Structure 1
Amino acid sequence: EPGVRAALPGGRTCLARKPPRPPTARELLKDVHLGLPLPGRGPTRLAVVSGHYLYYHYGCDGVDDRGWGCGYRTLQTLFSWPEGRPAGVPELGAMQAALEDMGDKPPGFRGSQSWIGCVEASLCLDHFGGPQGRLRHVTRGAGLQEELERLYSHFAGGGGPVMVGGDADAQSKALLGVCLGPGTEAYVLVLDPHCWGAPKNPSELQAAGWVGWQEVSTAFDPHSFYNLCMTSCNSEEQTCAL
């Protein structure tokens, strides 16, 4: 059946099929930020994610998780790092079952449409033996301006994708890099999991705005607190693919 253009949050569109086909490994796009032009007037300092990752998003495995699954999809992207392979990436139901079994969520959580955030992501990364997930809390009103140096050091030091989510801004997303330009220019590289459909290539995602550089001053809600889950290699089990 021919694809149709579906309207999505923020006025973006993505080629959609109803329902999306369960993906094979080759249909999960890899390292979708590559080829993006640098923002602003050019970087004074630039640091982006090392290694490789897969882009998980709404419906990418045939499950219609629109409206509740963005945290799980961002977490799946974190699990796919640093090798950029689907092996070892848990399904949504497995993550829900693990959170219920470990006592973080009440009985009945598995099979629900309940959201998860960075705290649950960190628990799942540890439970399933994924990358290490270090939590960082950003107080309400601070935005991410005060975290730029920490994020720059994270990516410059070989760190992986960073999951971010808040309360007033509850839409989960991943950060893949930091670009600090002349003066006060500051940008973060954002990977948004809310795309519904079957994107064919990174260029399509980039053109639709599902991955791209965003100004820090406008990308985050000043009225929201934020949690970060910063991934790094588990030295005992993983080797970063630099």
Structure 2
Amino acid sequence: MGVPDSQSSDTGIILRVRGPLELKCQLDTTDALLMQKVISGTFETLRAQVKSESLVLTVCDSPVFIWPNRGFHATPVEITPNTPCEDLQQWIQTDEQESSGKRSGKKKNKKSSTATAINLHLMMEVTTKGPLSAPILSRTVQKSHFLSTTLPMDCVIRTTSKDTIKDAFERLLEALTDQLCKMEKVMLQHMKGTTVLVPEPLHFLLPEPKGLVTVVYPAGVPDSQLETQRRELHQQFELPDDWPYFRRANAYHFPNEPYKDGYLRNPHLVLTHPSLDTGKVYLVQGIYSYHHYMQDHMDDNGWGCAYRSLQTICSWFQQQGYTERPVPTHKEIQQALVDVGDKQGSFVGSRQWIGSIEVQAVLNQLLEVTSKIMFVSQGSELGSKGRELANHFLTEGTPIMIGGGVLAHTILGVAWSETTGQIRYLILDPHYTGAEDLQVITDKGWCGWKGPDFWDQTAYYNLCLPQRPKVI
């Protein structure tokens, strides 16, 4: 199944233009068809504005201004229609340059390593050239409804190193015009009386070669009420009906935007895959957060590893859009086990360990997710489970919790050779107690590939393999 397992394997530069366009129209009637006609006329005016000479696009954190409809006029003068797109990065002021006192007006020799997405701001020149004339005032008394809302324009295009600014900006203008058409359609579809819903553009990274696509949803309408639209999108892009590609939680996360909650996402992506003779790599599909000891002002050092592994699994279901429920706290996990009758009331607030069977029960209780349990009587047998684990990551793609004795870990993938039986495990270790430092976590092996000797050869292990709901 083709599911994007990375949000950073993109080549080229993403150009993203954002900015408000004001939709204002006077509705002198309550007749639905006439109101729709007036709104459509206003959208037509906005599309004309996007094609007008007054449109200005500025490169954020830089002195660059571009008038794409005015014979492609730009400042500074070094920027011409034939300038390669990637050269825009040289003008962007980074935080490091600011702190070292360098001025943004000077051209940079060094490209910012993080600017794989260039942000642009959409503006309109308010003043227009022409003869000045005195205003004429007239007064008409009538009842009417004034509709005013801000359209949050947000368009992206993917460029290659060969693209010139002129080519890319022509595509951006097409994307802006197309987005206004989609917004008009959404607004008219969801209009009730004189109430309209603001259209909300979202970007989704689809399996190659489809790449990044933009969808417009009505803001405020929950995912549960947009299944018809998602089905249409799955048909349009020829996608299978068993993965929620177009739920809001699956919206693309741009590489230069930090996550607000502070958790690391997908630390395994920076690792090099082990090389096994005739071996293949099978990985978790989609996005998860790394949960480990001592996070969230919670001292669970020595007893909370299975709770943290469970939190990582829950984050996967949340970030793939299967649930809107936040990742549960230790107390919520304990309460869920009391609620299903697995534990006594005194368990809540305790520092007692849990294992794979409890993880299975909590996933079912809180997320309505079922899991398979794999029993291994001794660690030496784990080496023979390559086929089952590879199949799990191919078909389900969810993180696996493995518990044995008093230790729990998260398995994110396997490298396995069908011919030789060689196997390596991609382990995310919840016993880490440090800060969210990707380099430390990967250099010190808290997220890393481990051989069969990683497991206690004589201890028993239970593996909890969460099953993905097959929904759209």
Same fold by TM-score greater than 0.5: yes
1:210 shift after superposition: 0.4
Aligned to 1:163: 401
* Amino acid in structure 2 at the alignment position of 1:57: H
Q: 2:383 & 2:328 partners in 1: Cα distance?
A: 33
Match of 1:209 among 445, 449, 452: 445
Q: Whose helix fraction is larger, Structure 1's or Structure 2's?
A: 2
What corresponds to 2:429 in structure 1?
Answer: 192
Q: TM-score, normalised by structure 2?
A: 0.42
- 1:6 aligns with none
Q: In the aligned structure 1, how far is the partner of 2:380 from the partner of 2:356?
A: 18
- CA–CA distance in 1 between the matches of 2:403 and 2:467? 18
Structure 1 stretches of 5 or more lacking a match? 1-23
Map Cα deviations across residues 189-238 of structure 1 (whole Å, 9 max, x no partner): 000001112223x332101210000012x0111111110011231225xx
Q: SS of the counterpart of 2:346?
A: coil
Pick one of 367, 372, 379 that aligns with 1:129.
367
Secondary structure of the structure 1 residue equivalent to 2:386? helix
Whether the aligned pair in 1 keeps the contact of 2:294 and 2:300 (CA below 8 Å) is: yes
Aligned to 1:138: 376
Which amino acid in structure 1 is aligned with residue 415 of structure 2?
C
C-alpha separation between the residues in 1 aligned to 2:337 and 2:325? 20
Which of 172, 176, 183 does residue 408 from structure 2 map onto? Answer: 172
Residues 380 and 455 in structure 2, CA contact (< 8 A), matched pair in contact too: no
Inter-CA distance 41–122: structure 2 relative to 1 (3 Å threshold) = closer
Query: How far 1:39 sits from its partner (Å)?
Result: 1.7
Q: State whether residues 428 and 446 of structure 2, in contact with CA within 8 Å, keep that contact through their aligned partners in structure 1.
A: yes
Q: In structure 1, what is the Cα distance between the partners aligned to 2:460 and 2:285?
A: 27
Match of 1:88 among 326, 330, 342: 326
SS at structure 2 position matched to 1:147: helix
State the identity as a percent: 34
RMSD (Å), alpha carbons: 2.1
Q: Which residue of 1 aligns with 2:288?
A: 53
Q: Say yes or no: does 1:229 pair with 2:467.
A: no
- Greater relative contact order, per chain length (Cα 8 Å cut-off, separation 6+): 1
Q: Deviation at 1:83?
A: 4.9
Q: Secondary structure at the match of 2:274?
A: coil
Q: Distance in 1 between matches of 2:442 and 2:278?
A: 20
Aligned equivalents of 1:43, 1:203: Cα separation in 2 = 30
Structure 1 residue 184, shift from structure 2 partner: 4.5
